[in-house]
Chain A
Amino acid sequence: MLTVQNLSVSFTQYDTGLTQKQLTVITDLDLHVNAREVVAVVGSSGSGKSLLAHAVLGILPHNAQISGTILFKGEPLTRQRQASLRGKAIALIPQSISYLDPLMPVGRQVHQAARRAGVATTDIRQRVDHTFSRYELASTVKQQYPFQVSGGMARRVLVATAAVGQADLIIADEPTPGLHPDLVAETLNHLRQLASAGKGVILITHDLEAALQVADKVAVFYAGTTLEIAIAEDFVNGNLRHPYTQALWRSLPQNEFIPVPGAQPNPDALPDGCLFSDRCPLVTDACLTERPSLRLVRGAPVRCIHAEG
């Protein structure tokens, strides 16, 4: 459905005065999403998670330069194609309920999303009704404004706006920030259902625990690159390949709660070699000179020369 290969994104930014500098925020990023699959994209802030979503949707700011390939259904995603697919074949579930229009009843917002997505005018009514009942929203909710519905309902409305148009690829950008565990579980379940209905789902989150509840695969991002695309079971089975993924798992409060010291390298001063080399316990000289390429180890891609089969 979606294939991202060797994606790089850099920004031209102004420093003091007139000097400009190049910030490489995404380097050699890879991701692959199939239909019926939830792929979680996990990483810290600044790892390029949201930028990937923006790159796929074609909404990066104009001072960004892109290289690499993004294929959607086997064909390159050009600017024009992105513009025509956005909100139709590719839909976004945004992070915050503040993305809802506060001055419009929620029913009309879902209605509009359906029309934007190209649903035939005669079918829209029925589709909106169907979507509302599917997400257990009473039909009286349609007339209510966003401030009148509860937080949980507003979440469901957000999912409904993305699901109503029958998009093939759904990108959920941090859909569960700081939510109550029940609400997190509910939102994640909706994503799972969308995948079961044949869509491809990308779940972007910093919350590894939430990701593991629902994802088939977990892509671990770090400093703008994909370090590993693990299968969800690999985490519990101790089958992880990259030292950073292992560290991430270890650092959960319900596991050992032990962090790796240090921080992600800054985008204007990336190391020449492996991007994780300055924090890695396994680092050798070879790691410092060349960026490791993505290779298959135990059935999953990993970007580490020390990962063993």
Chain B
Amino acid sequence: MKLSMPAIANPRSRLQGFSLNNRRSRTLLLIALCLVVLGVLLLGTYLIGQAGLDIALSSRNQPPSFAHPFGTDWLGRDMFSRTLHGLSLSLWIGLLTASVSAVIALAIGTLSATLGGKVDAAITWLIDVALSLPHLVLIILVAFAAGGGVRGLLLAIIITHWMSLARLLRAEVLQLKSSDYVQLSSKLGRSPLWIARHHLLPHLLPQFLVGLILLFPHAILHEAGLTFLGLGLPPEIPAIGIILSESMRYLSAGYWWLAVLPGVVLLMAVQAFDILGQSVRALLDPKTSQG
């Protein structure tokens, strides 16, 4: 008989089975790819610095070339650098708003389920009402009410993105609370705090993580959308939404690259988050982690 070694003690053994025929390996590879793409988009600007953002009127409106893969704009600025800068900014805003929103969802969802009664009824009502309103209208209203600008944008996105996740987490807690094993745990003498720590939290955290990752693309798209409409970030902050909205004016002039290429990169980033979320879910959920 072999001595049983804890798997942690030898991290290499965990990667021994890596091959592309292994579904779990493929999922991990996908996650790693997404992380690399997102990492580049988030941190790329630190590598390339301010180069390419200078106005160079001699090389205005050039189509994509080796020197300028995304072409140049009406002021001769390199569109590739601008896209990276704009996207990086948008991603950071997305990360910030989605994280705050997810934490709100966690707090409200678990509180609603644990307190129950009137509090639960009130919160459920609020969630239902908020979800029944058209999303974009709600965001615009909140952004206006908060006075617009950066603060308005952040508040609007934070306030309008926690509901679905809160509802999901509330349902999870409710289901867990009424499950045989949680009820039995308290009959075996475990305190509510112990149960929360050992039964609830380990179950909720993966759900929370996946929910958080899947919130990012929403937050980013809405930030870009709001900014595109002129309600979000001011024009002097070069977020992706600004770039897109400015570029639209030049579409009719035949300068397609100004809008199309940054748009495609934005879609790629959003898609990367989506794939990341789905893959993490597939790994963490015991129901699909075997399949």
Q: A residues within 8 Å of B by Cβ?
A: 13-14, 16-20, 61-63
B41-64: CB near A (< 8 Å → 1, else 0) gives 000000000000000000000000
CB of A17 within 8 A of CB of B290, answer no
Closest to B21 in A: A20
Stretch at the interface among B7-15, B99-107, B126-134, B138-146: B7-15
Top 10 closest pairs, chain A to chain B, by CB: A17-B14, A18-B17, A19-B17, A16-B7, A18-B24, A14-B24, A18-B18, A18-B25, A13-B290, A18-B22
In the assembled complex, B289 has its CB within 8 A of some CB on chain A: yes
How far apart sit A18 and B25, CA to CA, in the bound complex (Å)?
7
- Chain B: which residue is nearest A61 at the CB level? B291
> What number of residue pairs across chains A and B have CB atoms under 8 A from each other?
30
B65 interface residue, CB < 8 Å from A? no
Expressed in whole angstroms, the minimum distance between the Cβ of B80 and any Cβ of chain A is 37
Please indicate the chain A residues that have their CB under 8 angstroms from the CB of B17 in the complex.
17-20
Proximity bits, B14-35, A CB within 8 Å = 1, else 0: 1111100010110010000000
The CA-CA distance from A225 to B25 in the complex, in Å, is 33
| Cα separation A172 to B289 with both chains bound (whole Å) | 30
B289's partner among A14, A19, A20, A61 (CB-CB below 8 A) is: A14
Report how far A61 CA is from B13 CA in the complex, Å: 28
Q: How large is the interface on B (under 10, 10 to 19, 20 to 34, 35 or more residues)?
A: 10 to 19
Query: CB within 8 Å of A: which residues of B?
Result: 7, 13-18, 22, 24-25, 28, 289-291
Q: How far is the CB of B31 from chain A (nearest CB, A)?
A: 13
27 contacts between A and B (CB under 8 A): A13-B290, A14-B24, A14-B289, A16-B7, A16-B14, A17-B7, A17-B13, A17-B15, A17-B17, A18-B14, A18-B15, A18-B17, A18-B18, A18-B22, A18-B24, A18-B25, A18-B28, A19-B13, A19-B14, A19-B16, A19-B17, A20-B17, A20-B22, A61-B291, A62-B291, A63-B290, A63-B291
B19 to chain A, nearest CB (A): 9
Please indicate the chain B residues that have their CB under 8 angstroms from the CB of A17 in the complex: 7, 13-15, 17
Residues on the B chain within 8 Å of A20, using CB: 17, 22
In the complex, what distance in Å separates the CA atom of A17 from the CA atom of B25? 9
Residues of chain B within 8 A (CB-CB) of A62 are 291
Query: Once bound together, how far apart are the Cα atoms of A16 and B10, in whole Å?
Result: 13
Shortest distance in angstroms between A210's beta carbon and chain B's nearest beta carbon?
Answer: 26
* Besides A18-B25, A19-B13, 5 new A-B residue pairs in contact (Cβ under 8 A), listed by A number: A14-B24, A17-B17, A18-B22, A20-B22, A62-B291
| Residue from A14, A16, A20 whose CB has the most chain B CB atoms within 10 Å | A14
Which A residue sits closest to B17, measured CB to CB? A18
CB distance from B9 to the nearest CB of A (A): 12
Give A235 Cβ to nearest chain B Cβ, in Å. Answer: 35
A16 nearest in chain B by CB position: B7
Nearest-neighbor residue (CB-CB) of A20 within chain B: B17
User: How far apart are B290's CB and chain A's nearest CB, in angstroms?
Assistant: 6
Shortest distance from the beta carbon of A15 to any chain B beta carbon, whole Å: 9
The reply to whether B16 and A18 form a contact with Cβ atoms under 8 Å apart is: yes
How distant is the Cα of A13 from the Cα of B17 in the complex, in angstroms?
12
Q: Give A47 to B15 CA distance when docked, in angstroms.
A: 33
CB contacts (< 8 Å) of A61 on chain B: these are 291
Instruction: Tell me, rounded to whole Å, the shortest Cβ–Cβ distance linking B21 to chain A.
Output: 10
CB of A222, distance to nearest CB on chain B (Å): 25
Q: List A contacts of B16 (CB < 8 A).
A: 18-19
A18–B15 CA distance with the chains assembled, in angstroms: 6
Contacts of A13 in B (CB 8 A): 290
By beta carbon, the residue of chain B nearest A19 is: B17
Interface centre among A19, A20, A61, A62 (most CB of B within 10 A): A19
